[in-house]
Amino acid sequence: MAFTVSNFLKCKNNSEKITMLTAYDYSTAKLFNDEKIDAILVGDSLGMVCLGYEDTLKVTMEDMIHHTKAVSRACDHTFVVGDMPFMSYQTSVYDAVVNAGRLVKEGGAQAIKLEGGALYCDHISAIVNAQIPVMGHIGLTPQSVNVFGGFKVQGKNEDNAKKLIEDAKKLEEAGAFAIVLECIPSQLAKIISESISIPTIGIGAGVYCDGQILVYQDMLNMYSNFKPKFVKTFSDVGHAIHEGVSSYIQEVKEGVFPGEEHSFSLKEETLKKLY
């Protein structure tokens, strides 16, 4: 059975953890879908891991739609969430609804995610009213990197922690179906998770969240520009790629690949005529 928006709440109520990963292309999404991961986020982190930018700010709606289309084509079980890029919703409630609509209508996403708390509740309500499920995202919101002065853990002092608890409650009121908590102390994530009835999805937010998400290149060791503390390598795919590519280079250089079994051949009589 396909994982739908209502399963998010069911999981929380049954104390069953929600599993999410990012994905940005068809073949990767297909592997995750076939593994029956609950949900995929087509994250604007694609700006960093797919496009090589230093942060997520240059990512466009066209980038997001392009990758969301590829991912949604691969998923018949997994729920697909499209991430709203920088300046696609901050500018107005109207822009937020139009661009959320594009991720669903053109990209094939089943829900959208946007960064921010109380400030964006009007935007979120308007998108929800347009029949598009919304996932919130608070804590380290990477689109605020220039305000934070870097990718830094949030909610460490009393005022900031209280603000995040309030933001989570406001997001629930605005109609969000789940909230990503990024890079906050695990005890704060526990308080937030217990203060709201919608599930929390943590990344660098500890074990008390109702679900977890990671950027897949991080957990498969395929991205080396930085490695946050919250990343665990579940499989060394980076090393497997290194080994595979280096064997390929060696075998081509030495004339070992392609072998007979990878080649097509002519009938003997046709060959004679050609000579």
Ligand X SMILES: Nc1nc(=O)c2c([nH]1)NC[C@@H]1CN(c3ccc(C(=O)N[C@@H](CCC(=O)O)C(=O)O)cc3)CN21
Ligand Y SMILES: CC(C)C(=O)C(=O)O
Segment 153-182, which members bind ligand Y (CB under 6 A)? Answer: 180, 182
Nearest CB to Mg ion, comparing residues 215 and 222: 215
CB of residue 25 vs ligand Y: minimum separation in angstroms? 14
Q: Which stretch binds ligand X (CB under 6 A): 43-51, 172-180, 247-255, 257-265?
A: 43-51
Cα dihedral 180, 183, 189, 195 sign: negative
* DSSP reduced 3-state for 65: helix
Nearest CB to ligand X, comparing residues 10 and 227: 227
Omega into 258 within 30° of 0, i.e. cis? yes
* C-alpha–C-alpha distance, residues 256 and 251, integer Å: 5
* C-alpha–C-alpha distance, residues 185 and 182, integer Å: 9
CB of residue 219 vs ligand Y: minimum separation in angstroms? 12
Question: Structure tokens of 243?
Answer: 């080994």
- Residue 43 interacts with Mg ion (CB under 5 A): yes or no: yes
- Residue 183 binding: pick among ligand X, ligand Y, Mg ion, none (C-beta 5-8 Å cut-off by kind): ligand X
Give catalytic status of residue 182 as yes or no: yes
Cα angle for residues 98, 19, 40 (degrees, 5° grid): 35
CB of residue 143 vs ligand Y: minimum separation in angstroms? 9
Annotated binding residue 158: no
Ramachandran area for residue 76 (φ above 0: left; ψ -120 to 50: alpha; else beta): alpha
* C-alpha–C-alpha distance, residues 193 and 184, integer Å: 12
Identify the active-site residue in 106, 158, 166, 182.
182
* Binding-site residue set for Mg(2+): 44, 83, 115
- Give residues in contact with Mg ion (CB under 5 A): 43-44, 83
Residues labelled catalytic? 182
